[in-house]
Amino acid sequence: MLSKTAAMRDAYGDALLELGAASRDVVVVGADTTGSLKSGVFATKFPERFFNVGIAENNLVSIAAGMALAGKVAFAGTYAIFVPGKSVDQIRNNIAYPNLNVKLVCSHGGISVGPDGASHQQVEDIAIMRSMPKMKVIVPADAVSTKSAVKAIAAIPGPFYVRLTRASTPVVYDAGFQYEFGKANLLKEGSDVGIIACGLMVPEALKAAESLKARGVSAAVLDLHTIKPIDVDAVVKVAKQCGRIVTAEEHNILGGMGSAVAEVLGEQRPTLMKRVGVKDTFGESGEAGELMRKYGLTAADIEQAASNLLTTSS
């Protein structure tokens, strides 16, 4: 586990090809980033169902909504900094409000975008999209789960936001993994501390758990891939078993996955917890690994948060 890496974007392109072959109702809309997002591969086999609208993100959203109104399953996306970054009004009023069957799949989420800098490092999108009524939010852990999730949501009515990363990431799941909507995956049992992670922080959580194990600490790891609707039962179960929770995400700690977990625990089972994520700041230009270390998004940071919890009295 974790010795192999693969790109979520490539998995997205593969999923689109399979979906396009299975149904003529599947259409793809892009905004001049289809080569980078790998959604452009759809055009090679299904050019009549592929629409590149250029650098016009608001149009992308509205055209996808129109396709959905015509009975299509519309996949649309670009970089996360542009959608939802530039298109919140159109997403809210043209997709979420009428509850249309549009799947927004966007790449380049988080600060791991790297050298493009703060202007392209989207760290607010989970907060924006999970607060939008009727919108469902998924942050896959790796390429395998990305492909499975994209294929699964094509059959689930209504709007989705799926957030992918730019760089290749460690492969967490075995081939053949089947994504189950709204059901978190317990990757590791534990009793001393529960680590709840999403996206590329899931492999970091697994590394942290192994390091903690070497120190005699039993850490559970939960992949909370579906942020909304959140798997309340899974979150509460881990909290009950471990008594302490660390959340880990490549997103602002305000409003993101950690906030969603805190909301659940605050109402269902008050639990000591710490949030690992971007500390309410913008990023900067740098290599992805450098930025992940500087902004505290590594296995070592998760391990430190867990250690701090273990020395805190309940």
CB 151 within 8 A of CB 105: no
Distance CA 223, CA 203 (A): 9
Burial 12-49 (b: 16+ CB within 10 A, else e): bbbbbbebbeeeebbbbbbbbbbeebbbbbbbeebeeb
- Residue in the structure block whose two tokens are 């380049």: 108
Distance CA 187, CA 193 (A): 14
- Choice among 18, 48, 57, 210 that is catalytic: 57
Distance CA 13, CA 121 (A): 22
Residue 57 annotated among the catalytic residues of the structure = yes
Dihedral sign, CA of 262, 152, 74, 13?
Answer: positive
Determine how β-strand 219-223 pairs with β-strand 185-188.
antiparallel
Distance from the Cα of residue 266 to its chain's centroid: 23
H/E element holding 142?
A: none
* Nearest residue to 106 (alpha-carbon basis) of 39, 154, 48, 179: 39
Catalytic residue positions? Answer: 57
